[in-house]
């Protein structure tokens, strides 16, 4: 009887062991819409363990070069995991806590993180130009904004700086209006409903107001601030130090992707439709305002940004170019 029980126990253990060997999960998670994030090990048989990078983003046209980079590098054995967030606050927390290796982010937010001692470096621009000041159809000049309510996505943003520049056109300051912070996706509806009278935010949400006929462009960013900076690509110091070769490969591919999609408008729109869930008309409007070529952050344009950050009261002591920007990758 004892021998029979022992035989049964051994048989059960053998079955469990075989089942365990056959059920090892070798896939990596897909954490963003569009199915263009990290694939499975089976799809990337030649991908080394270190050839992985996790990048945070918001679904905006300012991140198109990042989306294209992820797709191109995946074909070349690099697993780029894109992690989508719904707000800048959530995204910044992921960067600051090291939950991601980098991000496409408002550059002023990254500057603030650096100022607070977080180990991050800006390695490229997200885009050039591409922001507009949107107002309701009954507003015809910056002077008409006096006493009105205007929305920006975050105090630490180029959109806040562009608002200051807009008001200066009429001799006004931020004290002459009411400023509210809203998520980008909420702004068109708030304008249509009369809760706000204007806004400045990442695309394609300005184009959405124009496409729907609920608002119009008062100024484009280049009319207010030539060579303006907005979103940037940042990597953590830890990732750069531990994966320098991969960091170089990633940044090179990113800059090349920007140049390529800027020359191919059909490809640009295709990427936008895939990742942003916006209709073609909105993207057509939005992509007229933005470019992705030459994404290097030069010292002269960064210093202009740093001066504006101080003059608009965003920071008293923004990081210097050498402290914050890494153009060696």
The string of DSSP letters for 180-248 reads EE--GGGHHHHHHTTS-SEEE-STTHHHHHHHHTS-EEEEEHHHHSTT---EEEEEEHHHHHHSHHHHH
Question: Per residue in 135-153, pLDDT tens?
Answer: 999 999 999 999 999 999 9
Structure tokens at 92: 């910044």
pTM, 2 dp:
0.83
Q: How far is 80 from 82, CA to CA, in rounded Å? A: 6
CA separation for the pair 57, 99 (Å, rounded):
13
* pLDDT tens figures, 240-278: 999 999 999 999 999 999 999 999 989 999 999 999 988
Measured at the CA of 305, the angle between CA 231 and CA 140, to 5 degrees, comes to: 80
Confidence (pLDDT) at 8:
37
Tell which residue, 120, 31, 34, 28, has the closest CA to residue 79.
28
Q: How far, rounded to the nearest angstrom, does the alpha carbon of residue 170 sit from its chain's CA centroid? A: 32
CA distance linking residue 318 with residue 304, whole number of Å: 12
The pLDDT of residue 12: 35
Q: Residue 100's pLDDT is what?
A: 98
- How would you classify residue 104: left for phi > 0, otherwise alpha for psi between -120 and 50, otherwise beta? beta
Cα diameter, the chain: 98
Residues near 271 by beta carbon (within 8 Å), at least 6 away in sequence: 64, 67, 68, 71, 261
Burial class of residue 193 (count of CB atoms within 10 Å of its CB; 0-12, 13-18, 19+)? exposed
Q: How far is CA 301 from CA 61, 216, 313, in A?
A: 21, 28, 19
3-state SS string for 76-144? CCCEEEEEECCCHHHHHHHHHCCCCCEEEEEHHHHHHHHHCCCCEEEEEECCEECCEEEECCCCCCHHH
Half-sphere exposure of 194 (CA within 13 A, CB side): 1
DSSP code per residue over 271-329: HHHHHH---HHHHHHHHTSEE-S-----HHHHHHHHHHHHHTTS-SSPPPHHHHB----
Nearest Cα neighbor of 258 from 85, 79, 129 is 129
Q: What is the pLDDT of residue 278?
A: 86
Side-chain-side CA neighbours of residue 24 (13 Å): 7
User: What is the pLDDT at residue 50?
Assistant: 54
What parts of the chain have a pLDDT lower than 50?
A: 1-49
Of residues 108, 186, 179, 182, the one with CA closest to residue 147 = 179
For residues 124 and 293, give the distance between their C-alpha atoms in angstroms, rounded to a whole number.
11
């Amino acid at each position: 009887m004892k021998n029979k029980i022992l035989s049964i126990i051994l048989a059960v253990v053998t079955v469990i062991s075989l089942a365990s060997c056959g059920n090892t999960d070798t896939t990596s998670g897909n954490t963003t819409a569009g199915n263009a994030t990290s694939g499975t090990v089976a799809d990337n048989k030649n991908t080394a363990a270190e050839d992985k990078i996790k990048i945070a983003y918001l679904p905006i046209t300012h991140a198109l070069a990042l989306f294209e980079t992820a797709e191109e590098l995946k074909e070349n054995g690099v697993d780029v995991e894109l992690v989508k967030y719904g707000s800048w606050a959530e995204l910044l927390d992921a960067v600051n806590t090291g939950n991601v290796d980098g991000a496409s982010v408002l550059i002023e937010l990254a500057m603030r993180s650096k100022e607070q001692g977080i180990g991050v470096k800006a390695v490229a621009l997200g885009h050039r130009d591409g922001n507009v000041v949107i107002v309701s159809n009954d507003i015809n000049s910056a002077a008409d904004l006096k006493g009105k309510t205007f929305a920006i996505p975050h105090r630490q943003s180029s959109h806040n700086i562009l608002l200051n520049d807009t008001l200066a056109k009429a001799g006004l300051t931020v004290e002459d209006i009411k400023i509210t912070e809203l998520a980008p996706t909420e702004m068109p509806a708030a304008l249509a409903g009369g809760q706000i009278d204007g806004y400045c935010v990442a695309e394609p949400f300005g184009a959405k107001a124009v496409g729907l006929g609920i608002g119009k462009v008062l100024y484009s960013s280049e009319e207010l601030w030539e060579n303006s900076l907005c979103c940037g690509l940042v990597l953590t110091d830890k990732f750069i130090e531990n994966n320098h070769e991969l960091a170089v490969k990633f940044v090179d591919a990113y800059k090349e992707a920007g140049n390529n999609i800027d020359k191919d408008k059909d490809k640009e729109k295709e990427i936008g439709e895939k990742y942003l869930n916006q209709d073609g008309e909105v993207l057509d409007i939005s992509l007229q305002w933005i470019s992705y070529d030459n994404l290097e952050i030069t010292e002269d344009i960064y210093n202009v940004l740093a001066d504006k950050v101080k003059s608009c009261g965003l920071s008293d002591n923004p990081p210097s170019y050498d402290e914050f920007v890494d153009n060696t990758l």
